[in-house]
Amino acid sequence: MTFAIKLLARFLRLFRRNEDGNPTVEFTLVFLPFIILPVSGFELGLLMTRHVMMERGIDMAVRQVRLNTGTPITEQQFKTMICNAAAIIPDCMTMLRLELRPIDLRHSGSESENSIPREASCTDLSYPFQPARNFQSGIANEMMIVRACGKFVPMLPEFGLGYFLSRMDGGYYRLVSTTAFVMEPA
């Protein structure tokens, strides 16, 4: 019994003095953070690019709607204009949900019937054909609010920033964009 203990003690003493695997330990401790940072940066860059392109698409669509006051517009037409201008958004027609409503500035505030809900209504993928929350075309000289909410899948949902984004809303993260405009007179 004492022979086994002495043999084990000798083996552990030699193992402790050996420095053969030293760079491997450093590599395993330092490698993961140095990979997580660039991958998370790329994920964040993709998120920001999608948001900027969604903003651009809404701005381009609002410009067309604002200048064509005489013709009412449907949600599908408005969504098509946004998706055509924002080409980088994947599966845009199903992942984007719009809200367009007139706002009367004389009767505004958080308690008025004119107020905008704080929570944006996003697409429910289990029920993809749900109607728009509020989609009303405006008339000349009327203040309008447009809000678009899109759901997107992270590029790497199990690594870095994508891990946290994929845990938000059933594997998707939301991007919300809001803008206001006044319909031009005819």
- Residue 131 burial (C-beta neighbours within 10 Å; 0-12, 13-18, 19+): exposed
Residue 11 lies in a domain: no
pLDDT of the residue at 115? 66
Residue 12 lies in a domain: no
Taking each helix axis from N to C end, the angle separating 75-85 and 22-67, rounded to the nearest 10 degrees, works out to 130
Residue 111 lies in a domain: yes
Residue 17 lies in a domain: no
Residue 78 lies in a domain: yes
**Under DSSP, is residue 113 helix (H, G, I), strand (E, B) or coil?**
coil
Residue 163 lies in a domain: yes
State which H helix or E strand residue 181 sits in: strand 173-182
- Return the DSSP state at 131: P
Question: Helices (DSSP H) in 68-122: which residue ranges?
Answer: 75-85, 92-95
Q: How many domains does the structure of the chain reveal? A: 1
Query: Is the whole model's pTM more than 0.85, yes or no?
Result: no
Residue 71 lies in a domain: yes
Q: Determine the Cα–Cα distance for residues 150 and 95; give it in Å rounded to an integer.
A: 5
Of 105 and 97, the one with more pLDDT: 97
Q: What is the pLDDT of residues 11-53, one digit of tens each?
A: 877 777 666 666 777 788 888 888 999 999 999 999 999 999 9
Q: What is the pLDDT of residues 127-186, one digit of tens each?
A: 666 665 677 777 777 888 889 888 888 988 888 888 888 888 888 888 999 998 888 776
DSSP bridge pairs for 96: 150
In which domain, by residue range, is 47 found?
23-182
**Under DSSP, is residue 169 helix (H, G, I), strand (E, B) or coil?**
strand
Residues 6+ apart with CB under 8 A from 175: 47, 50, 51, 54, 149, 150, 152
Residue 131 lies in a domain: yes
CB 182 within 8 A of CB 142: yes
pLDDT of the residue at 89? 86
Q: Is the dihedral of CA 130, 162, 148, 52 positive or negative?
A: negative
